[in-house]
Chain A
Amino acid sequence: MNHWIIAPVVLPALLAPIIAYVMRHDIVLARWASTAGTVALAAIALGLAVLASDGATHVYYLGNWTAPFGIVLVLDQLSAIMVLLTSVLALIVLWHAMATGWDNRGRHFHALFQFQLMGVCGAFLTGDAFNLFVFFEVLLIASYGLMIHGGGKVRLKAGLQYVVMNLAGSTLFLFALGTLYAATGTLNLADLAEKVRLLPIEDAALLRVAAVLLLMVFAIKAALFPVQFWLPGTYANAPAPVAALFAIMTKVGAYAIIRFYTLVFGPDVVATQGLAGSWLVPGAIITLAVGAFGVLAARRLMPMLSFAVVGSMGTLMLAVAAFTPEAIATAIYYLVHSTFAAAALFLLADLVVSRRRDDALHHQPPVVQNGMFAALFFVTAIAMTGMPPLSGFLGKLLVLDAVQGMSWMTAAWSAILIGSLITIVGFARGGSVLFWKATSLVVAEDGSSDMVTPKAQEAAPATVLQFAPVALSLVLLGFLAALAGPLMGYFDSAAAQLFDVEHYVSAVLGGNGEVLK
């Protein structure tokens, strides 16, 4: 039994209370501790990814209780990828929060940040459905604090909506788990996978109810239509680094859908055959449309980016909905891409918006370093909308390829291609209003002083340290595109491992002898 598997949960869990209680008055100390913790987390995650690359399913039995009775953490390639993604994203976001001073605008940013990482990593690693609920709650309760970090009237109101929405979602999650337990008598994922496949088809009604309830819960997290409406309000009003960190939160929902509907309610389960796909496909297509039109219609920059995130979740879910190993591998690639693209957009938007009067998309005098911001926005928008040469293009191409041959291929292709076009138009509009028309405005209105706000004059230019996180995420996107071949090899084997249910079940339920020694 490899104890490193639990480290991504234990490390932030130990660090967060220390930061909260010991370093609460010393931001410098808290910054150092938080950075050290996140760097260590990234190193551990990298180690776990290497460990998992052998293709085996590594199981950690908490308290050495045997599998269906105790809680297990399971490290396979997908969870290793997700934990690594989380830790790298956390590093980028933490850097930005410290460089721009966001972490000092309210209290306990670093403690909440670490708790958030604990919840997210736990959700990716756990092999127990109820434990997944607990980690969801951990990540949510930390996200409530992060969401209202810095305070302000609108942010608190948006935060209240976010909390109520997610509390309702949590209640639904408990109902789903209760139904699942009533139908099968277990909540261990491996045991569930076995029991569900043995359940006679006549008794499957309750199971199908549980499957649909769970899908609804994860759809709330993944911001799928018809429960996507919480996302734009939340992301647009959250502090920008937090919105960038939340890029991983929608992916937790996507991960849970991938995990549950390959392992427990896989395509080979007669009782729930085709159930998830038939709901996900229309949901994903409408989500894509909502995202695309939202980008086009947004009157502020932050909601525009939020709708771009919604649209990317639609594309991701179209790949997931196919439920074939190739499509899931593609989905993982697109998931990694859209996480970094969304994070880069929000971080860049924060740099720009904090130098403008507000983030409204109408003419304002150019900010300092207008050219630099414009160039970065251009590259990031290329990544987000899926134009060559960055990974968004490859990702969308792979998704198009993955859904080829499905009965709903025409609808999916039209949605992705038209949605991309509308998103490109939306981003072109946003970028030209923000950066291009701003310069012509000042030339025309040079004499009138009221157009030039004092803020645009006073705002300090962004330092290299502040640009670095955005640049880093863009470099990562570049790597994702350049190294697409080898990475797809890893994602392919991760997807193949996901569909090898017997291997997972025997690793979790059958591995007791060697553990007890």
Chain B
Amino acid sequence: MEMIVASAIGVLTASGIYLILRLRAFPVILGMAMLSYAVNVFLFATGRLAVNAPPILKKYADLAYSDPLPQALVLTAIVISFGMTAVLVMIALGAYLEADNDKIDMTEDAPENASEQKGRGA
């Protein structure tokens, strides 16, 4: 099981980083989602992997139990990454509609755009 979880985290992280490096908005969003899945599984594993164990300490029996804290952390992390992905999609959409392309980098003709933008903003 350790092997499966570890390789799952590894593959998710690798594909996430690869997608982020594509520098187009849509792959980057997918890549961020992949990375957040990877980190969620990783957080689960930090409480040690246990199967069929009760979620908390049992008062009447001295059983091994699975650590509940990482599960609470994962829940928080899922909520936050969900909200962040929504924000990212909105901003990417806004940038796409403004610029008519979905490139993340700002290399081409940045100075001209900058002055035009400043003129409009001021």
Mutual binders A and B: yes
* CA gap between A177 and B35 in the complex, in Å: 15
When the two chains form their complex, are residues A164 and B117 in contact, meaning their CB atoms are under 8 A apart? Answer: no
- Tally of contact residues, B, Cβ under 8 A: 46
- Residues in A209-241 with C-beta less than 8 Å from chain B: 233, 237, 239
Q: A160 touching B118 by the CB < 8 A rule?
A: no
User: What is the CA–CA distance of A158 and B92 in the complex, to the nearest angstrom?
Assistant: 11
CA distance A286 to B28 in the complex (A): 29
Q: Are B121 and A150 in contact (CB under 8 A)?
A: yes
B99 and A360 contact, CB distance less than 8 A: no
Q: Is A64 an interface residue (CB 8 A)?
A: no
Residue pair B69, A152 in contact (C-beta under 8 Å):
no
Question: Which residues of A, 356-397, contact B by the 8 Å Cβ criterion?
Answer: 357-360
The total number of A-B Cβ pairs within 8 Å is 126
A433 at the interface (CB under 8 A from B): no
Contacts A154-B113, A164-B20, A178-B43 hold; do A130 and B76 have CB atoms under 8 A apart? yes
Asked if B84 and A170 sit within 8 Å, CB to CB, the answer is yes
Whole-angstrom distance between the alpha carbons of A134 and B79 in the complex? Answer: 11
Q: Does A151 reach chain B (CB closer than 8 Å)?
A: yes
Specify the main secondary structure of chain B where it touches its partner. helix
> Which chain B residues border A137 with CB–CB below 8 Å?
80, 84
| CB-CB contacts below 8 Å: B104-122 with A | 104-106, 110-111, 113-115, 117-122
Q: How far is the CA of A174 from the CA of B110 in the complex (A)?
A: 34
Q: Distance (Å) between the CB of A327 and the closest chain B CB?
A: 34
1/0 contact string of A127-170 vs chain B (CB within 8 Å): 00010001001000100100010111111111111011001101
Q: In whole angstroms, how far apart are the Cα atoms of A360 and B115 in the complex?
A: 8
Q: Select from chain A the residue with minimum beta-carbon distance to B17.
A: A168
Q: CA A353 – CA B20 in complex, angstroms?
A: 35
A361 and B84 alpha carbons, distance in the complex (Å): 36
Taking a contact as CB atoms under 8 Å apart, the answer to whether A152 and B98 are in contact is yes
- Judge whether A299 is part of the interface by a CB distance below 8 angstroms: yes
In the complex, are the beta carbons of A157 and B115 less than 8 A apart?
A: no
When distances are taken between beta carbons in the complex, the residues of chain B under 8 Å from A154 are: 106, 110, 113-114, 117
Of the listed residues A156, A167, A357, the one surrounded by the most CB atoms of chain B closer than 10 A to its CB is A167
- The chain B residue with its CB closest to the CB of A130 is B73
Give the residue of A167, A299, A359 whose beta carbon is less than 8 angstroms from that of B84: A167
Q: Which of A105, A164, A174 contacts B28 (CB under 8 A)?
A: A164
20 residue pairs from A and B, CB less than 8 Å apart: A105-B121, A151-B98, A153-B113, A154-B110, A154-B113, A155-B117, A155-B121, A157-B99, A159-B91, A160-B104, A164-B88, A168-B20, A177-B73, A179-B46, A233-B106, A300-B111, A300-B114, A355-B122, A358-B115, A358-B119
Seen from chain A, the residues whose Cβ lies within 8 Å of a Cβ on chain B are 105, 130, 134, 137, 141, 144, 148, 150-161, 163-164, 167-168, 170-171, 174-175, 177-179, 181-182, 187, 233, 237, 239, 299-300, 353-355, 357-360
